[in-house]
């Protein structure tokens, strides 16, 4: 066992990796132990949105930006859309202690908010060293502990990390969706009106929920769509009874190769139906699998809000938010399926389109706002497909 660091004051928190590496620090959030896959996120803002993104289910988020907490937390900026997705990321790791809030929208100290969301966190650890471990060896299994009394069983923590099953072959989307369908017409946030509802809509969209983020639904409303959200494994025939103008395959966590086994029949029938389709993140990967391509695990994944992606249709480079540990293998794309977007960081796939069909998908998160609105056009592009079919 190697010890990564020693805090100046008695340790109340720790993170242990499956290889026996341990970093001691100061705990915060929910007392106890959380296990998951350790990934680093390079965003400098949006920590509340990140930790409530259901795509992070089963993961511990290491923030590379050292100062976290200064904008506090509020009840509006969380991204989960169902009670079942209320706890997305299982843990968090910070360099500096959590800062006191200083923002006019803040309602909670970030530490108190972490406890409410049942997220276990540790600070005062060497996040640069941990990031280097991930860069050189991939995303490890880990266990994070917060023991207010300072009683940390390091050996038990290492064993907890080793015993965790991991994300490969895990259909985690099953755990972050509810059973009951619901509608959404809430638009994007406005400084004056906040989150207002559409009074009139032009389209009806069915969203297949694998862990959908709220801002996806808000962006759909912003282009004139009322969204009905249903489980990702809802039978095709039930979806058609809702008479949608288009269907969205949402983001979500876990291994797409596992989730496609449960949801593939519905997606295949949607492809054949001719309905406009938009896939996002996990939905993009599921669409690729249904079309005949393959996906593979990434060593480090993409997690951050500063990723450059090129749109081949326009030649534009956009700055996007990403959160994925699996990627579509472009070498396996079948005839008729084209790469529409590509990451300029490492050349991995970030979008697909189907020749002759109103079907598009992206690996990144077009509903997020790092650019700040570089990718919102994708929802307009999808709305254009639906408008064409109404003509």
Instruction: Read off the pLDDT of each residue in 39-64 and give the average, rounded to a whole number.
Output: 96
Half-sphere exposure of residue 20, counting CA atoms within 13 Å on the CB side? 2
pLDDT at 4: 54
Residue in 142, 186, 281, 284 annotated catalytic:
281
Tokens 């695990």 — which residue? 297
Q: Which residues pair with 225 in a beta bridge?
A: 203
pTM exceeding 0.85: yes
The segment with the largest mean pLDDT, out of 45-54, 81-90, 186-195, is 45-54
3: pLDDT confidence band, cut at 50, 70 and 90?
low
- Say whether pLDDT at 1 is over 80: no
- Say whether pLDDT at 6 is over 70: no
193: pLDDT confidence band, cut at 50, 70 and 90?
confident
203 a known binding residue? Answer: no
pLDDT at 199: 85
312 a known binding residue? Answer: no
- Say whether pLDDT at 7 is over 70: no
Respond yes or no: is residue 222 known to be catalytic: no
Strand 186-190, strand 194-197: pairing: antiparallel
CB-based contacts of 320, cutoff 8 Å, min separation 6: 305, 307, 308, 309, 350, 364, 365, 366, 368, 370, 371, 374, 375
285 a known binding residue? Answer: yes
Give the pLDDT confidence of 78-92 residue by residue, as tens digits: 899 988 888 799 999
Residue 160 to residue 135: CA distance in whole angstroms: 23
Instruction: Read off the pLDDT of each residue in 169-176 and give the average, rounded to a whole number.
Output: 95
Domains in the chain (CATH in brackets) are: 13-163 (3.50.30.20), 173-390 (3.40.50.880)
Give the pLDDT confidence of 352-367 residue by residue, as tens digits: 999 999 999 999 999 9
254 a known binding residue? Answer: yes
CB 257, CB 289: distance < 8 Å: yes
pLDDT averaged over every residue in the chain: 95
Choice among 43-57, 73-87, 275-289 with the minimum mean pLDDT: 73-87
Residue 222 to residue 376: CA distance in whole angstroms: 10
Percent of the chain as helix, strand, coil, to the nearest 5: 25, 35, 40
Helix ranges, the chain (H): 47-51, 110-116, 127-137, 154-163, 214-222, 236-241, 256-273, 282-291, 377-390
CB 98, CB 110: distance < 8 Å: yes
Residue 225 to residue 381: CA distance in whole angstroms: 13
Q: Which residues pair with 328 in a beta bridge?
A: 295
232 a known binding residue? Answer: no
Number of other residues whose CB lies within 10 A of the CB of residue 200: 7
Q: Residues in the chain, how many?
A: 391
DSSP for 96-130, written as a single string: SPPPPP--TT--B-HHHHHHHTT-EEEESS-HHHH
48 a known binding residue? Answer: no
pLDDT at 373: 84
Respond yes or no: is residue 39 known to be catalytic: no
Q: Which two tokens stand for residue 273?
A: 């139906």
Number of helices (H), then strands (E), belonging to the chain: the values are 9, 19
184: pLDDT confidence band, cut at 50, 70 and 90?
very high
293: pLDDT confidence band, cut at 50, 70 and 90?
very high
pLDDT at 194: 85
Respond yes or no: is residue 84 known to be catalytic: no
Give the pLDDT confidence of 91-113 residue by residue, as tens digits: 999 999 999 999 999 999 999 99
């Amino acid at each position: 066992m190697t010890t990564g660091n020693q805090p100046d004051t008695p340790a109340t928190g720790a993170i242990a990796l499956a290889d026996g590496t341990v970093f001691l620090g100061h705990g915060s959030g929910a007392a106890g132990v959380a296990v998951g896959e350790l990934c680093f996120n390079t965003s400098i803002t949006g920590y509340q949105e990140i930790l409530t993104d259901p795509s992070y289910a089963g993961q511990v988020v290491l923030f590379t930006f050292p100062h976290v907490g200064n904008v506090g937390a509020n009840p509006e900026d969380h991204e989960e859309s169902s009670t079942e997705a209320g706890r997305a990321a299982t843990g968090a790791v910070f360099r500096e202690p959590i800062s006191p809030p200083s923002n006019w929208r803040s309602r909670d100290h970030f530490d108190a908010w972490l406890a409410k969301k049942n997220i276990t966190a540790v600070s005062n650890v060497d996040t640069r060293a941990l990031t280097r471990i991930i860069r050189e060896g991939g995303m490890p299994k880990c266990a994070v502990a917060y023991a207010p009394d300072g009683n940390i069983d390091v050996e038990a923590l290492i064993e907890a990390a080793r015993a965790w099953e991991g994300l490969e072959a895990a259909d985690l989307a099953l755990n972050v969706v509810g059973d009951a369908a619901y509608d959404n017409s809430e638009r994007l946030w406005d400084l004056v009106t906040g989150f207002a509802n559409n009074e009139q809509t032009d389209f009806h969209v069915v969203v297949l929920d694998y862990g959908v983020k709220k801002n996806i639904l808000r962006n759909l409303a912003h282009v004139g769509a009322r969204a009905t959200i249903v489980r990702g494994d809802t039978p095709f025939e039930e979806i058609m009874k809702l008479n949608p103008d288009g269907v969205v395959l949402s983001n979500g966590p876990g291994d797409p190769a596992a989730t496609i086994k449960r949801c593939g029949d519905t997606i295949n029938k949607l492809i054949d139906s001719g309905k406009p389709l938009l896939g996002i993140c996990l939905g993009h990967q599921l669409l690729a699998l249904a079309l005949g391509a393959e996906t593979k695990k990434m060593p480090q994944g993409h997690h951050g809000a500063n990723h450059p992606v090129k749109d081949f249709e326009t030649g534009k480079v956009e700055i996007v938010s990403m959160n994925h540990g699996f990627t579509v293998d472009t070498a396996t794309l079948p005839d008729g399926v084209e790469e529409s977007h590509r990451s300029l960081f490492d050349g991995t796939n970030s979008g697909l389109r189907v020749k002759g069909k109103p079907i598009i998908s992206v690996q990144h998160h077009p509903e997020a706002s790092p650019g700040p609105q570089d990718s919102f056009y994708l929802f307009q592009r999808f709305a254009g497909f639906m408008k064409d079919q109404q003509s």
